[in-house]
Amino acid sequence: MDDPYAQSAEYIDLLIADAWGLFAPGLSEALHGLGDEPGVTVDLGAGTGRGVAVICASLPDSSPVLAVEPSPALRAVLLARAHEDASLRSRVTVSPADAMSVPMPEQVRVLVAMNMIGHLSPDDRRELWQRVAPRLVRGGRVVVNLAPPARPVAIPRTRMASRTVGGLTYEGWASAEAVGEHQIRWHMTYLTRSPEGAAVAEVAVNYDWWVMDEGELRAEFAEHGLTMRQIGHPDAGLYVASHVQG
């Protein structure tokens, strides 16, 4: 696999922390009121495990969580996070597969796909919904967010996030260009700065990202009998989809 996170992994957990301040309450709300049907909660593209921690805190019923993370470098952080906390260690299984190759559990309580759906092509997304929809337990859900932009447009270079740890500051900068009818190419630069502002390390990474808007996502879910609604803070772009209960 071509891993866009191989070079930038050390920056990802730090620089996504602020965004999780917005995502965590929304994800928690999306999991609220889940029935007690047995099944697995799958976190696709679990990254460094921030979503896994929210899932375990929001579902304090010891039900199993399958954290799927294809990037070895991010998986190392995920596994450390899962191992370090006894309440996660006993219920979180970390898989090195990806979204399309992971054997999907027969009973899925929730499928979570946070900040990752743009890595999947429209065909892969449809195949994924097709595999997941029939496996959702009664009351089961799909939780996904759409990160802007919703259309293939150029994004000028912007500082996305910054965090200081000890004597060094870590920054993530992003710009994007349209590369297709439904695709953009992110140009990411990650910098480590000294207190004086000098760059002591710099990594540049480019990767393609499939974009879509709320209406397109809604239509995809509807093809598989799933009804979608927005949840959480509007800026989180978070949606929850489920079968309409008969």
Closest CB 114 distance from ligand SAM, rounded Å: 4
| Phi, psi of 238, deg, nearest 5 | -100, 140
Per-residue binder mask for ligand SAM (CB under 6 A), 52-91, x = binder: ----------------xxxx--x-----------------
The string of DSSP letters for 101-126 reads TSPPPSSEEEEEE-S-GGGS-HHHHH
Burial class (CB in 10 A: 0-12, 13-18, 19+), 7: middle
- Strands 65-68 and 92-95: what pairing? parallel
Pick the binder of ligand SAM from 54, 99, 143, 238 (CB under 6 A).
99
Give the shortest CB-14-to-ligand SAM separation in angstroms.
11
Does the protein bind ligand SAM through residue 115 (CB under 6 A)?
yes
> Residue count at the site for ligand SAM (CB under 6 A)?
19
Q: Does 114 bind ligand SAM (CB under 6 A)?
A: yes
Amino acid (1-letter code) at residue 176: A
Look up residue 70 and give its DSSP letter.
-
Cα of 162 vs its chain's centroid, Å:
20
Footprint (CB under 6 A) of ligand SAM, residues 165-204: none
10 or 98, CB closer to ligand SAM? Answer: 98
Contact pick of 24, 116, 211, 236 for ligand SAM (by CB under 6 A): 116
- The distance in angstroms from the start CA to the end CA of the chain is 41
Shortest distance, position 73 Cβ to ligand SAM, whole Å: 9
**Does residue 242 belong to the site contacting ligand SAM (CB under 6 A)?**
no
The verdict on 140 binding ligand SAM (CB under 6 A) reads no
d(CA 158, CA 198): 19
Q: Under the criterion CB under 6 A, does residue 92 sit at the interface with ligand SAM?
A: no
Q: Give the residue closest to ligand SAM by C-beta.
A: 47
Residue 146, interface with ligand SAM (CB under 6 A)?
no
Among 24, 40, 46, 176, binds ligand SAM (CB under 6 A): 46
- Closest to 241 (Cα-Cα) out of 145, 102, 116: 145
Contact 229, 240 (CB under 8 A): yes
SS3 for 178? Answer: strand
Q: Which residues are near ligand SAM by CB under 6 A?
A: 5, 16, 44-47, 50-51, 68-71, 74, 98-99, 114-116, 119
